[in-house]
Amino acid sequence: MKKYIQLLLIVLLLGSSNAFATHNRAGELLYEYISPLSYKVTVITYSKISDISQNADRDSLDLDWGDGTVETVVRTNGPIVGGVPNGELIGNDIKKNIYISGVHSYSGALPFYIISVTDQNRIADIVNIALGS
């Protein structure tokens, strides 16, 4: 069972091909072990409020499970605006957004799966933190 947990690596977070947009300040992927080969993921992003346009503020994100499955996860926190949660203002011009997946079960064990979320509005020149701290 521990082997399966070790096989699940989260190595890519909020990758981007567009270096011009600047509202997305930070983010993280957290996974929860449910059972052998089954996991649940929480995506947390932090956005600069004054730079958010209607096109940049996302009430949902696409979560790629790394096995060919893509799940649209919806924002779950903050006051309801226009029928959907609007994120949580945390101060210093920053909004925290939380997106929670359903339970995903992999069909078999591979050496690893890469779980990722891509946001084209990430700040330019961000490098992922090795081993996080």
Tens-place pLDDT, residues 68-126: 999 999 999 999 999 999 999 999 989 999 999 999 999 988 888 999 998 766 666 66
Q: Is the pLDDT of residue 20 over 70?
A: no
Q: CB atoms < 10 A from the CB of 8, how many?
A: 20
* Identity of the residue numbered 122: R
Average pLDDT rounded to a whole number, residues 44-55: 78
Average pLDDT rounded to a whole number, residues 21-43: 89
- Residue 49 backbone phi and psi in degrees, to 5: -65, -45
Domain limits, the chain: 2-117
Q: CB atoms < 10 A from the CB of 84, how many?
A: 13
Q: In this predicted structure, what is the pLDDT of residue 15?
A: 38
What string of H, E and C letters represents the secondary structure of 23-68?
Answer: CEEEEEEEEEEEECCEEEEEEEEEEEHHHCCCCCCCCEEEEECCCC
Pull the structure tokens for residue 112: 């690893």
